[in-house]
Amino acid sequence: MKPIRLDGRSLTRAQLVAVAHGAAVELAVDQLPAVQRAADFLAEQARREEPIYGVNTGFGSNADKLLGAHRLRDQLPGAQPEAETLHEELQRNLIVTHAVCVGEPFAPEVVRAMLCIRINTLMRGHSGIRVEILQALTALLNAGVVPVVPQLGSVGASGDLAPLSHLAIVLLGGGEAFLQGERLPGGEALVRAGLQPVKLSYKEGLALNNGTAQMLATGVLALAQLEALVETADLAAAMTIDAFAGRLGAFAEEVHALRPHPGQVETAANLRRLLEGSTLSDIAYHLVPRFRQWQPESWDTPTAQQLRFDIGWDWVPFSQRHGREKFYQRFRPFRGGKKHQPQDSYSLRCIPQVHGAVRDALAQAARVLDIELNALTDNPIVFPDAKAEHVEQQVISAGHFHGMPLALSMSYVKAAIPVLASISERRLNKLVDSATNDGLPGFLIGNEDGTESGFMIVQYTAAAIVNDLASRAMPASVYSIPTSANAEDHVSMGANEARHVLAMADDLGKVLALELYTAAQALDLRRDMINAARSLASRANAEGLAAKIQGGPPGGTSDRTDFLDEVEGLRVELADSEPFHPGNAVARAHAAIRERIPFLPRDRALDGEVAIAVRLVKEGVALAAARG
């Protein structure tokens, strides 16, 4: 793959994801003079002894301390002269004292994304960093040296100080880094990669650790995952709709034109695509039989006897049709698996409104992240070519390091994740509950002998994850804790917010995998039960089909002939139908699942299959199959 060109202005989320997963980067040569111009300007101002924050002052609440011409501690008895200048010491100390994060290290792709973001923002030419430091950062990234960055330590202003210091300390030959999967001292990793440590000059430590790279990297990687997962949620929902022989009117284009939230319109259109070609959805009520437990006498041929279920309907007596005559002119008087009602439950009917609102939350986050990717986020900001009377008009302290734009957008996404997981779990629960699954077996298993649990506990696992996601959805951004002796008296906590979102996205994928796993079982049962009814209708007469119908009048009564005429109408309609099947995209995804996980005719260990289902979602296999 061609290296990603970094110029400080055109980095995209897709490019960042590519770098996170191994793509190399290169510096835009035409932007390097602007980078060096700002560095040269700061060096000149330092020689003039102009007081500039972070150049010849302390940091944070130490900003009122000006650097002297020499070290006072050199006058201590026995003091040894030091090779580095006070300015160099200031920048080095900033990095080594701020690299204090704790916890498990971030995954390599997160750290690579952080490095890429930091290089890109410094390429804007307003940070005062020398070109050679950017070249060293680029070499570090391209050599596969991945600094060890523990996950806990940023408050999201002044940016991600502590995590970014863990990035920079390796550049100085300190800290730790991974190289080819091995965890090494930072200096040794540099040597093995053929790189040399650097010395920092004016403001360069501040430029390296003052910014939003951790929250931005985790946010972008989380969003890439979530954009695939919301599409996966549509797929899982579509498979569930087909398994319910659901109604499609709620997804009609003209319906959503009347409430045109973008995500809602997109979700409805996607469901229509996924369910295109289905002959299960919108099927007439009376054609759908309900499950009955298999018995040795259930079927009339050896082939049919291999089925793992029996089927049946209830007949609606003539005496119960008064006031409903018009309805029974359109629909035959047989009650099977589908209730005679014009609308499905909210977890099916309101998929566009719920999934669509999640899409809109992701779109808002994408807008914020796209801006931040090419924004300057350190402090102070250097304008070397500005006409100014005083240096303060050319080196301006501002607050671009403050992560609140990202924090609030991540709070929105954080709230959306358990919403998507929750509606998925509700569909899963509806599938396994015989009181709500429209005629499918309880827990989607035959259970003739009362010994089988089927998919019962799959729903428990989904419920546990949904509860965990909901309990983690509290926005971190609403709880600022001041730092730096109250010099930094309002912070964003955006790093925690984005880190939570990245972890929660992974758990959302598990819930969607459980729905797909369960929906595939339900879809097999629904399709096979309706096609078993069709097959019976094709080979039997009205009396043969009537054996599957309860409540019919006994032989020898005046109503028996009329009853059999109605059964014959049902038989002919079933026999004349083509084999019933799900939507084309749903069928492809179902086949991809069945290549790896067989139908469950009897209880067996499910842990390995659940792990496979989770992988199918994480690796995008089911989604790719649906896309064709």
Which residues are catalytically annotated? 53
158 three-class SS: coil
221 three-class SS: helix
Across the strands, what pairs with 550?
Answer: 314
Q: What share of the chain is helix, strand, coil (3-state, %, to 5)?
A: 55, 5, 40
Question: Which amino acid type is present at position 627?
Answer: R
* CB of 394 closer than 8 Å to CB of 42: no
**Closest Cα partner for 287 from 586, 620, 626, 578?**
578
Q: CA angle at residue 252 from 580 to 334, to 5 degrees?
A: 40
* CB of 92 closer than 8 Å to CB of 165: no
Q: In whole angstroms, how far apart are CA 502 and each of 175, 456, 495, 569?
A: 25, 29, 11, 56
Report the phi/psi class of residue 175: left, alpha or beta, with left for phi > 0 and alpha for psi in -120 to 50.
left
Token pair for 286: 């009376």
Q: Which burial class, exposed, middle or buried, applies to 561 when counting CB atoms under 10 A from its CB (0-12, 13-18, 19+)? A: exposed
Residue identified by tokens 């069709």 is 534
**Closest Cα partner for 124 from 3, 215, 208, 6?**
6
387 three-class SS: coil
